[in-house]
């Protein structure tokens, strides 16, 4: 939505009558104009634009005898939209009554050799979008030089080129104005940024996943240790609860023996009547008559 500065913003004079409003069914489009002063002195500040508009209004009303400044809306290089006659009022700028009834008139405040800024183009597109909402059939966007019967340089080479490129057409994107080299450069930049972001994301996810895996493994070990201990305790309690009377004291199950340490070998249990090994004769005297020791004789 365009914010239009009112006529009071440039201290406009009241119009002298006028041709009235455009007929919606007759409007074919909008014509783009420029002041055509021949000067290269830019008109950029708000005060300078307001002063210029007052001067053009005086010229149109006092020298040309028109009812008001000729155009409907003006757009400056800062992107400001100025109400002149207004979009509904028929202009006096296109060349004759028939053209003024068929087209609106938008003034671009450009001087000789000046290119329209991105702000000017964006606001002009928005003004034309508003124009089309009022006049649905008025979709044409034409330079003044394309419609004036007597010919004119208006609106200048820069504005004509912008019209031809569609830069004043609603919906146009400034990206469409890029050269093939600029487009390729932008594509390369986007691809490089995308790859860098993908690599960063991969590293972050890998680091986070590694931490999650370690924490999960530790939790599993703790859970298994606690579960095994609890299961062993429950199993022992169940066994001793069903123990036979021979293992019970005073009719109650004896206390379960302490579980053996799996890391220590159990001591061997020996029968009570097992004879010990015979004592070993440690004397240094040899047996008499060269006889072999008893153990050795038994072995033969």
Q: Which domain holds residue 190?
A: 178-230
275 in any annotated domain = no
- Mean pLDDT lowest among 204-208, 213-217, 245-249, 287-291: 287-291
CA-nearest of 178, 163, 5, 159 to 82 is 5
> What pLDDT shows up at residue 291?
47
287 in any annotated domain = no
pLDDT of 165 above 70: yes
> What pLDDT shows up at residue 297?
39
As a whole number, mean pLDDT of residues 133-162 equals 93
Same domain, 211 and 71: no
Same domain, 155 and 106: yes
pLDDT of 226 above 50: yes
Same domain, 75 and 210: no
As a whole number, mean pLDDT of residues 48-56 equals 96
13 in any annotated domain = yes
Whether the Cβ atoms of residue 176 and residue 162 lie closer than 8 Å to each other: no
- Between 241 and 8, the more confident residue is 8
266 in any annotated domain = no
> What pLDDT shows up at residue 263?
56
Count, residues in the chain: 300
Same domain, 197 and 168: no
Question: What are the structure tokens assigned to 140, written together?
Answer: 């044409």
3-state class of 169 per DSSP? coil
Same domain, 66 and 199: no
> What pLDDT shows up at residue 299?
39
In the structure, what pLDDT confidence band is assigned to residue 214 with cuts at 50, 70 and 90?
confident
> What pLDDT shows up at residue 211?
77
Same domain, 67 and 153: yes
> What pLDDT shows up at residue 196?
81
As a whole number, mean pLDDT of residues 39-62 equals 94
Same domain, 168 and 62: yes
pLDDT of 154 above 90: yes
In the structure, what pLDDT confidence band is assigned to residue 116 with cuts at 50, 70 and 90?
very high
Residue 17 carries which DSSP code?
S
End residue of a domain, out of 173, 194, 211: 173
**Cα 5 from Cα 43, distance rounded (Å):** 17
> What pLDDT shows up at residue 66?
95
Q: Which helix (H) or strand (E) holds 143?
A: strand 140-143
What is the total count of domains within the chain? 2
> In this prediction, what percent of the chain has a pLDDT beyond 70?
71
Same domain, 222 and 157: no
> What pLDDT shows up at residue 267?
54
End residue of a domain, out of 127, 150, 173: 173
290 in any annotated domain = no
Same domain, 211 and 65: no
Sign of CA dihedral 270, 275, 281, 287: negative
Same domain, 147 and 198: no
112 in any annotated domain = yes
> What pLDDT shows up at residue 248?
52
| Among 139-148, 222-231, 268-277, the range of highest mean pLDDT | 139-148
136 in any annotated domain = yes
Query: Model confidence over 9-35: pLDDT tens digits?
Result: 999 999 998 889 999 999 999 999 999
Query: Model confidence over 77-100: pLDDT tens digits?
Result: 999 999 999 999 999 999 999 999
**Token pair 């004036």 is at which residue?**
148
- Between 155 and 194, the more confident residue is 155
292 in any annotated domain = no
CATH code of the domain covering residue 49:
3.40.80.10
pLDDT of 252 above 60: no
Q: Name the average pLDDT for the chain.
A: 80
- Between 231 and 171, the more confident residue is 171
> What pLDDT shows up at residue 185?
76
> What pLDDT shows up at residue 68?
96
Same domain, 27 and 103: yes
End residue of a domain, out of 193, 212, 230: 230
Same domain, 42 and 86: yes
**Cα 103 from Cα 90, distance rounded (Å):** 8
């Amino acid at each position: 939505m365009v914010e239009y500065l009112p006529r009071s913003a440039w201290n406009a004079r009241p119009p002298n009558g006028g041709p009235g409003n455009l007929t919606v069914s007759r409007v074919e489009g909008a014509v783009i104009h420029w002041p055509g002063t021949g000067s290269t002195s830019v008109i950029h500040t708000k005060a300078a634009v307001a002063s210029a508009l007052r001067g053009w209004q005086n010229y149109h009303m006092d020298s040309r005898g028109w009812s008001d400044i000729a155009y409907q809306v003006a757009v400056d290089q800062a992107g400001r939209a100025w109400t002149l006659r207004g979009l509904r009022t028929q202009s006096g700028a296109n060349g004759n009554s028939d053209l003024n009834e068929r087209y609106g008139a938008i003034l671009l405040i450009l001087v000789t050799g000046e290119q329209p800024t991105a702000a000017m183009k964006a606001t002009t597109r928005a003004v034309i979008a508003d124009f089309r909402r009022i006049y649905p059939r008025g979709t044409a966007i034409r330079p003044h030089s394309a419609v004036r019967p007597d010919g004119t340089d208006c609106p200048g080479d820069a504005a004509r080129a912008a019209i031809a490129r569609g830069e004043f057409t609603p919906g146009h994107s400034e990206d469409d104005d890029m050269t093939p080299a600029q487009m390729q450069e932008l594509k390369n930049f986007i691809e490089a940024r995308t790859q860098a972001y993908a690599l960063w994301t991969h590293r972050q996810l890998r680091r986070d996943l590694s931490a999650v895996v370690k924490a999960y493994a530790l939790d599993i070990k703790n859970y298994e240790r606690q579960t095994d201990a609890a299961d062993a305790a429950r199993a022992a309690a169940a066994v001793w609860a069903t123990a036979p009377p021979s293992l019970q004291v005073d009719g109650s199950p004896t206390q379960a023996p302490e579980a053996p340490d799996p890391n220590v070998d159990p001591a061997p249990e020996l029968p009570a009547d097992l004879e010990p090994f015979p004592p070993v004769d440690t004397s240094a005297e040899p047996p008499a008559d060269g006889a072999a020791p008893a153990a050795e004789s038994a072995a033969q």
